[in-house]
Amino acid sequence: MKANAVRTGLHRGWIEFRQTLTTAQDLWGYLFPTVILLVVMSFQRGSTVGGFSLGAMTLPGVLGMNIGFSGLITVAQQLTVEREDGTLLRAKATPDGMLGYLIGKITLVGGMSLLSLAVILVPGLLMFDGLSTGVGAWLTLAWVLVLGLVATMPIGAIIGSLFANPRSMGLIMLPMMGLIAISGIFYPITGYPEWLQWIAQAFPMYWLGLGMRSALLPDGLAAAEIGESWRHLETVGVLGLWAVIGFVVAPMVLRRMARRESGSSVAARREKAMQRVR
């Protein structure tokens, strides 16, 4: 039964991902942020750090930010929307339905993450000179991507389980923006006070950006980082720790949330949503 649930989840996730490629709203969600970020990075081309374009230095950080957003915010949004419309309740009612549901979400978000990364990386490689494109760079980019999603997706599921409806998700965006601001995405973190550097290093976003910079930037630019090193072992350690925490806590939180789901609770949320529309 579990094997069937896994196959069903993979199939469902692939179908949902393909649907995002045929929906104008989803395509706009892929392209609009990309255009904004590429425009911002193009304005940074004239500024340099150690003789290297600041725009090129920003590109890997933006890729790391996108991975973090996909794992944290996209998963949380998917969970809250489908909790409100009764999808979770239907999954709960079928054998191994929650397993299939989670596999489907992993497949969907993984596909969305790859596409989001590609639509920024490909134009970025054409815009900026000096970025690494060898086999080692692609291998590093791949393991950072996979480990980043593994570290952030369970946390995103935990966040999503805390909110009863999608409109409440706005509460998480302000702290998320603050976290991005201190995570070295647009400016080297060594320019911040030491206490702020420690806060940034406690969360996955900083390490995702650092891992992407280690993949795409020349080794000499590691001098701009803390410890003048790409700190691969520390990146694996911190992201791995977040992954362990997520995989321990997320199943408990999701099981508790699933137990509380019922037809009456879904109907009550729908009624509240209809009243807001009216």
Domains of the chain, by residue range, sit at: 1-45+54-275
CA torsion through residues 80, 173, 108, 183, sign: negative
pLDDT of residue 26: 81
Tens of pLDDT, residues 130-164: 888 889 999 999 999 999 999 999 898 888 888 77
Q: What pLDDT, in 10s, does the model give residues 94-104?
A: 777 777 888 88
Nearest to 165 by CA among 272, 252, 64: 272
Question: Residue 277 has what pLDDT?
Answer: 47
* Total-model pTM: 0.86
Output the pLDDT for position 245.
Answer: 92
